[in-house]
Amino acid sequence: MHDHWLEFSQVAFAHLLAVASPGPDFAIVLKQSLVHGRRTAVWTSLGVGTAILLHVAYSLLGLGLLIRGSELWFGIVKYAGAAYIAWLGVQSLRAKPRSETVSDPLSGAPEPPSTRGAFATGFVTNALNPKVTLFFVSLFVLVVNPATPKLIQAGYGLWMSAVTMVWFCLVSVLFTRTGVRGAFLRHGHWIDRALGVVFLGFAVSLVFASR
């Protein structure tokens, strides 16, 4: 039991460092927070956290090693992820100035996506990130003992999923405070375009990701 708690602490710490690092997940939650508001950002955060369970599932089944060891499958994940992130970047670069005649900047915000759409955006952003795939495969190979019961390993996955959701929900709350979001919307198209450049940068980095 003691060994499992030690192992869990190592898994939790490694994941905490990874989830707090800036990446496509943080960028998409930030964009959703500033552009569409708290509800959309929270559902996007839940999508990101749920995608963690996908990575955990194929790691437990041994499929992660197959993806990592196969140039074809890793390439499919890598280029699909890069294409999706690049598409998000292009959408952001096309942002137009909001009407300056609106006294309340929040009223000039674009129509938010549906709950399902926001959740799917977060889920796909995380699920198609090959760097996340490599992280989880490495975590379950290098840190988690193969002798650890699958049920306990699944518990590690549930913990990481929950922590991811909580972290990005906190980000959502912070960046949807009226003052913060209002300031953004006054010059929103420039920040939106800047995020577009960030997304394109992430897409390029994904293309060059190696096994």
Query: Tens of pLDDT along 5-21?
Result: 888 998 999 898 888 87
Backbone angles phi, psi at 149, to 5 degrees: -55, 140
CA 133 to chain centre: 12
Name, of 69-78, 150-159, 195-204, the range with top average pLDDT.
150-159
Identify the band that residue 130 occupies on the pLDDT scale cut at 50, 70 and 90.
confident
Identify the band that residue 45 occupies on the pLDDT scale cut at 50, 70 and 90.
very high
> Is 80 exceeded by the pLDDT of residue 97?
no
Whole-number average pLDDT of the chain: 81
Identify the band that residue 211 occupies on the pLDDT scale cut at 50, 70 and 90.
low
> Is 50 exceeded by the pLDDT of residue 127?
yes
**Is the CB of residue 135 less than 8 Å from the CB of residue 58?**
no
Identify the band that residue 169 occupies on the pLDDT scale cut at 50, 70 and 90.
very high
Alpha-carbon distance values, 131 to 55, 74, 81, 173, 210 (Å): 11, 10, 10, 26, 9
Rounded to a whole number of angstroms, the distance between the first and last alpha carbons of the chain is 34
Identify the band that residue 81 occupies on the pLDDT scale cut at 50, 70 and 90.
low
Identify the band that residue 103 occupies on the pLDDT scale cut at 50, 70 and 90.
very low
What pLDDT does 44 receive?
A: 97
Q: Which two tokens stand for residue 142?
A: 């290098």
